[in-house]
Structure 1
Amino acid sequence: MFVLKTVSLFLLLLLLINPAIKNVENENTKPVLAVLVDDSKSISFFKEDKSIQEFLEALQKDKSIVEKFNVEAFSFGNKITLLDSLSFLDGNTNVYKAISTVNQLYEGKIAPIVVLSDGNQTVGNDYEFINAKQKIYPVVFGDTVLYKDLKISQLNVNKYSYIKNKFPVEVLLNYEGKENVTSQFSIVKKGKTIFTKKVQFSATNNSKTITTNLTSTKEGLQYYTASIRKIEGEKNTKNNTKSFSVEVINEQTKVLVLTSVLHPDLGALKKSIESNKQRSVSVFLVDEFKNQINDYQLIILYQPNNSFNKIINDIKTSNSNYFLISGANSDWNFINKNQLGISKNALRQTENYGALFSNSFLTFLQKDIGFNQFSPLKDQFGEVSISREHQTLLFQNINGLETKQPLLATLEINNQKSAILFGEGLWRWRSASFLNSNSFQDFDTFIGNLVQYLASTKKRNRLEVAVENLYSDASVIDISAFYLDKNYQFDARASLEISVTNTGTKKVIKVPFSLMNNSYQTEIENLGPGDYSYTVSVIGQQIKKHGKFKVTENQIEEQFTNANSTKLLKLAEKTGGKLYFKDEVDKLKKEILADKSFYTTQKSIIREQSLIDWKWVLFTVITLFTVEWFVRKYYGKI
């Protein structure tokens, strides 16, 4: 019983003290062999899909390789993923992204990289200049023979053009070959050739840049096809054609100037406004104007008096936008009676008003072009009152005294925009601006900004959709939408859906949007070539946005004539690796198995374990106390 008691108490005290016991374990870590497999369409185009799968299996099933390395396989195209299966359907190749992702994944580890690819990259940074700490072993798949080839490397064009304007097109042509060749470049619209040019290439003169200006003749979305004619012996002609689109806008602004007096300001306004070719100005004495104001987007009322009565009534009825300019000959009693939201207690005497620029003006973006240095404007003296919500661009400066009285202000109510300038003499401002900068541009831009704001009748939409006009069938179609609530604040609670219809086959697909940050995003894949219309709708709301786009047959992965072994070789040399070809799997295995820099690392791991975690010790203590109790009970000691 003494022994039982002693051992029990000893173990119990040991548990209470709870000492930590340290164990040292050795752990071996094999190097990783990362195998990147090109899963893009170019592999199947070169008929290398079977070869690349056999090469991969030869690495994964080799016992020596598996004993030395942890083999990790990845497939890549536009993105990189753990290899599950290979389809060779990805429309783009990003070798740079694949290598950099693996570099980050195995940072600080021994992880040589084997790249099974044709070396042709269509998107992303140039992988030839990647900074990789791991050795890279590219394996070339595809034809390495060089063929003669003409291609359109790049095409630059503006997305928008105004009707009857010319827009520039810039095309970069490239030739691969040693012979002198002649071809013809052309641009076609709806089957009609609208531009053609003969081009010649040689081994040394292998690049041409063609620039031309095309005329926008029809409003709306216009599609064009640029092509370079095939030469003899050319194997791949899919890179000889490239489509592009231009949206032609018909937004010529017509401005009407009605005046009660002849004044130099009228000429200055006309020249400034018409400095933009998309704007035209008609000037009439108010008594001689017989047309309809609805033919104009903006009416400028210059020094109005009683003869403007009908015009102002028409403006009120039609809710037209207007710009009122007062001066020494204005009739302020008439203006005040018409309740335009502005009034002035004018006296018969005149005053000169200098300009003071307001940095807090928010209606549109306007920089200070030196307004305070311009000659004062002349207007009748009196206090100005504006009863409607307004923004002041220029304040009055009277003989050096800065005031809070507006000189130029904008007003907006019930979708009607207006502005008021309290003073005549704008022609002096235009002249002073020219003397300051040797150009009328600053002043003309100022007037242009004001006219653009006043002439625009466009309302802000609660649903805006960002869609390109033209896609290739190899690309993923990314569409984003921006939805606002009734207070024009971004609404993250909505559910959006896009319905896409092929206008030829009438096939319809519907795809929901996902909320990402402060916008809604969706992706549509595998749309075949054709014309499509779309409708983006807010579920549960009568809010929709319609549009159209075109998908062209442009397999970018099939535009290469051969594998890019030269670039893969540079990649291998830069990283300390070596280039191999598809029939050299045994040489590759021998190389990486013999490389002593790929070694298994061993590290010691010290693990601490508390004695209280040993449940058998507690069980032993309970058992000893139990045995002692029964022994005492048996001998009658209890």
Structure 2
Amino acid sequence: MNSSSFFFVIIALVLALCIAYFQYFYKSKDRRPLIFALFGLRSASIFLILLLFFNPTIKKTELQTNKPVLAVLVDNSQSSEYFNEQQEISRLVGKFKSDQLLNDKFTLSFFSFGNSFQTLDSLTFLEPQTNINQAIESVNTVYKEAISPIVLITDGNQTLGNDYEYSSTSKQIYPLIIGDTVKHKDLRVSQLNVNKYSYLGNSFPVEALLYYEGNQSISSEFVIHKNGKRVFSKKISFSNDKRSITVETSLPSSQKGKNYYTASIKPISDEKNIANNTKNFSVEVIDEQTKIGIITSVLHPDIGAIKKSIETNKQRKVAIKVINNDIFKTTDYQLVIMYQPNSLFNKLIAEIKKEKSNYLIITGSKTDWSFVNSLQLGISKNAISKDENYLANFNQNFLTFGQSDIGFEQFSPLQDKFGEITVSKPFEPILYQNINGISLNVPLLAMLEENNQKSAFLLGEGIWKWRATSYLNSNSFTDFDSFVSNVVQYLASTKARKRLDVTMDPIFPSNATIDITAFYVDSNYKFDDRATITMELSSTENTIKRELPFSVIGNAYQLNIEDLPAGDYTYKVSVKDQNISSNGTFRVTTFNVEEQFTSTNTEKLNRLADRTGGESFYKTKFQDLKKSLLENTDYFTTQKTITKDKNIIDWYWVLLIALFLLTVEWFIRKYYGKI
């Protein structure tokens, strides 16, 4: 008790005695034992009531005993059922719960894991995937400061998450191994590496990692099918020294939309598990060829060089037309390049302004600058009839898109009419003009953007020489063509930012949870968490139709779908009360990721135990595991003294005693006629 609390106790005692004295002895000569008893009862009851009123604190010392925690992690995934180990696992859990010696030494905590980690309630063996690392890391977090060895009841086959063998846990782990420990001959498609997208008419690469488990030399065949039709096959051979093979190929993108493929390796004789011989994948083929029109008033080598550079990307097509008085449909092209414009371009410019088409103007010795100046495009030149040569200096601070210096200062000068340049709109220069070695703060190539319309000006002809010089410098056109490609890609891009963006994989195994993320922004393109977003889901056979709501989690909308049968599905994600939606398709395959293993991963579990200072045991060695845990002197009970400040008002019995004393006093006074 501190000094202030002691002071209040003294005050309470004095006040209690004074009040009782005033009632029983003040101006009274009665000194019978009864009066002294009543005086004592009244003093005590008032003293206790005053203590509650002043509420002093008293330091209380407690001795706390902490037993070490034994965390028992139980594999609740479908692989346990696949190995037919449900009853054995339940029996092992029951042994831990009922063993008195273990419960005397440890505080036992039981957890289940699979696709998720949770406190053990009941075992269903329905978890679609196994994340052993998450379970280990979670226990390490929960019992970070405690002595807490881990018993891991599992087959050691993980299908989700980081490699558990290299978990950063500080706890000793004791794997209790279940499943089939016999090694069977097995072939499997271990991994497929495929791009998600490909352009129509192109080819896309496929890389397959094939694995063999066995000691004998065998032969098989790797095959890829599309809609039941074989599109690729290759004979392969494995041996004890050659257990893995990587197969690479390219497949044509001949059909627009999502294309589904099946990659498989033919099973060998006596192969126990053939479910892991097959993997499905998909590629979305996009038909988005960029069409670019070059309109020219003169014939010039620049036009051919520009066309070749642009068309190195097969998804771009260039059309060349000589200007005339006909109306040119700019809507047919994502980008219009006007080469050395003059008055014949008047109708074309009017169409570009009307449709807000993106354009690139290249000027030169044949350009009518009086006409260009009259268009008020944001750039003008007070030109004279004399031509001038302009070298290029690269702008190191250019940020509109990624572009490196490909040696512009070494390129031949471009030719244009001499005159002062004026730019009346915001612009971003890629190249500055250089005349006779003097660098000018005047653009040679500049980008402009206004009201979602992009434009650019290249103030000089002779760019074909740049392409030739680039080839001489690097023995390749790649650098120059990439430069032109970057400019064209920026100018030809007309995509507006979508307010609703839906992200999901195109293909899922039948036992997986389907995770869908939607990102929705308001008209100012800021995340909007007030919307109601739903998904209309249906199978292609119309046997399944659902409407599912999204939930806001962080800065996105999330939806999880479970237990969808194998098949093809279409979906439409919509924002309520908004004319905004996103459509798509996906496929659920019959592949069960938990059935891809033929045996227990004993080696990995043994390495995990060795690395963490634990020991691994087979499921039949429960008594050996128990003995190891009980005899390990690192797992000991700790005691510590805890001093707490206890308020008198928290002691309800003080009030009860005070009421009891007042009641006794009242009955005595009543009995002897003092009331």
The TM-score normalised by the length of structure 2 is: 0.84
2:155 paired with 1:118: yes
Structure 2 residue identity aligned to 1:135: Q
Q: The residue matched to 1:577 in structure 2 has which SS?
A: coil
What whole-Å deviation, never above 9, does each CA across 1:349-371 have from its counterpart, x for those lacking one?
Answer: 33344445456655433344454
Which of the numbers 121, 127, 130 marks the counterpart of 2:167? 130
2:121 paired with 1:84: yes
For residue 143 of structure 1, report the CA deviation from its aligned partner: 1.5
Map residues 119-518 of structure 1 onto 2, 5 A cutoff.
119-287=156-324, 294-316=331-353, 319-358=356-395, 361=398, 363-371=400-408, 374-386=411-423, 390-397=427-434, 405-413=442-450, 415-434=452-471, 439-518=476-555
RMSD across aligned C-alpha pairs, in angstroms? 3.6
What whole-Å deviation, never above 9, does each CA across 1:314-352 have from its counterpart, x for those lacking one?
Answer: 545555432111111111233344454544443333334
- Structure 1 residues 337 and 609: alpha-carbon distance in aligned structure 2, compared to 1, 3 A threshold: closer
Structure 2 residue identity aligned to 1:208: I
For residue 88 of structure 1, report the CA deviation from its aligned partner: 0.8
For residue 132 of structure 1, report the CA deviation from its aligned partner: 3.9
What whole-Å deviation, never above 9, does each CA across 1:279-309 have from its counterpart, x for those lacking one?
Answer: 2333343359998655443221111123334
Do the aligned residues in 1 keep the contact of 2:327 with 2:347 (CA within 8 Å)? no
Rounded Cα–Cα distance in structure 1 between residues aligned with 2:330 and 2:646? 92
Structure 1 range deviating more: 28-37 or 119-128:
119-128
What whole-Å deviation, never above 9, does each CA across 1:410-458 have from its counterpart, x for those lacking one?
Answer: 3445654332222223234334545665543333222111111222332
Rounded Cα–Cα distance in structure 1 between residues aligned with 2:54 and 2:226? 90
Rounded Cα–Cα distance in structure 1 between residues aligned with 2:324 and 2:109? 87
Structure 2 residue identity aligned to 1:562: S
Do the aligned residues in 2 keep the contact of 1:258 with 1:286 (CA within 8 Å)? yes
For residue 520 of structure 1, report the CA deviation from its aligned partner: 2.4
For residue 262 of structure 1, report the CA deviation from its aligned partner: 2.8
Structure 2 residue identity aligned to 1:534: Y
Do the aligned residues in 2 keep the contact of 1:11 with 1:617 (CA within 8 Å)? no
- Structure 1 residues 616 and 480: alpha-carbon distance in aligned structure 2, compared to 1, 3 A threshold: closer
For residue 216 of structure 1, report the CA deviation from its aligned partner: 1.2
Q: The residue matched to 1:239 in structure 2 has which SS?
A: helix
Rounded Cα–Cα distance in structure 2 between residues aligned with 1:34 and 1:184? 46
Runs of 5+ consecutive residues of structure 2 not aligned to the other structure: 1-16, 22-38
Q: The residue matched to 2:565 in structure 1 has which SS?
A: coil
What whole-Å deviation, never above 9, does each CA across 1:168-202 have from its counterpart, x for those lacking one?
Answer: 11111111112222211100011110111111222
Map of 2:10 onto structure 1? none
For residue 146 of structure 1, report the CA deviation from its aligned partner: 1.5
| Largest Rg, 1 or 2 | 2
For residue 236 of structure 1, report the CA deviation from its aligned partner: 0.5
- Structure 1 residues 310 and 169: alpha-carbon distance in aligned structure 2, compared to 1, 3 A threshold: same
Structure 2 residue identity aligned to 1:548: T
Aligned length: 631
Rounded Cα–Cα distance in structure 2 between residues aligned with 1:612 and 1:225? 74
For residue 224 of structure 1, report the CA deviation from its aligned partner: 0.7
Structure 1 range deviating more: 246-255 or 189-198:
246-255
Rounded Cα–Cα distance in structure 1 between residues aligned with 2:325 and 2:650? 105
2:596 paired with 1:562: no
Rounded Cα–Cα distance in structure 1 between residues aligned with 2:54 and 2:499? 70
For residue 373 of structure 1, report the CA deviation from its aligned partner: 5.4
Do the aligned residues in 2 keep the contact of 1:40 with 1:92 (CA within 8 Å)? yes
Do the aligned residues in 2 keep the contact of 1:354 with 1:396 (CA within 8 Å)? yes
Q: The residue matched to 2:600 in structure 1 has which SS?
A: coil
For residue 24 of structure 1, report the CA deviation from its aligned partner: 3.2
2:97 paired with 1:60: yes
